[in-house]
Amino acid sequence: MTRVVYFTAATLDGFIADEHDSLDWLFEVPHGEDDGTWDAFIGRVGVLVMGATTYQWVLDRHFTEHPEQYHDFYGERPLWVFTHRDLPGVPGVGVTFARGDVQASWDDLAAAAGDGDVWVVGGGDLVGQFDDAGHLDEIQVHLTPVVLGAGRPLLPRRITSSRLTFREGAVVGQRCNLTLDVARPG
């Protein structure tokens, strides 16, 4: 069964981007230590999913001038972008632009994942749409010692402890990595 995982970093006050949709705050936090979480996670991912704002930020900062960085970081995994606007692709990357709600694309997206997971990279509202459609299974959030005071929330939906269960947590360098299981609604 295809699983949907939200794997992201967030500030201590619960934001994934600042009020200008920037992720620059993330690169202020040292990334030197690794407990194997990334390799274990990316090894089970079959397809990546981004919303238009996340995709545009990554495209502008990394993939427009250096499209090879996509493969360096994500391998040969296909990318789906949910958007209502026309956006450019990344040379050499299989990008599918999906319009409409998540459920309308679910069968094709699950097929693209193959035996792997669907990684919803961001943003938080797109993750909420996956949960609304009953497809969110896991949240891995890496809390960082940054406080923004405003910005894009981790997940702008109400999901209570009746559906969220902590599975594990660990401090790795300057991050507190938390994994939660998400029970499907209903």
pLDDT tens per residue across span 140-180: 999 999 999 999 999 999 999 999 999 999 999 889 999 99
Its domain, for residue 62, covers 47-95
Smallest CA-to-CA distance from 103 within 136, 55, 139 is with 136
List, in order, residues 6 or more apart from 36 with CB less than 8 Å away.
none
Q: Is the pLDDT of residue 31 over 80?
A: no
**In degrees, to the nearest 5, what angle opens at C-alpha 85 toward C-alphas 100 and 60?**
125
Instruction: Tell me if 166 is assigned to some domain.
Output: no
Structural domains in the chain (count) = 1
Instruction: Tell me if 4 is assigned to some domain.
Output: no
Check: pTM over 0.85? Answer yes or no. Answer: yes
pLDDT number for residue 33: 66
Amino acid at 83: T
Cis bond leading into 123, ω under 30°?
yes
List, in order, residues 6 or more apart from 122 with CB less than 8 Å away.
6, 8, 16, 17, 50, 51, 54
Tell me the backbone φ, ψ of residue 61, rounded to 5 degrees. Answer: -85, -25
Instruction: Tell me if 23 is assigned to some domain.
Output: no
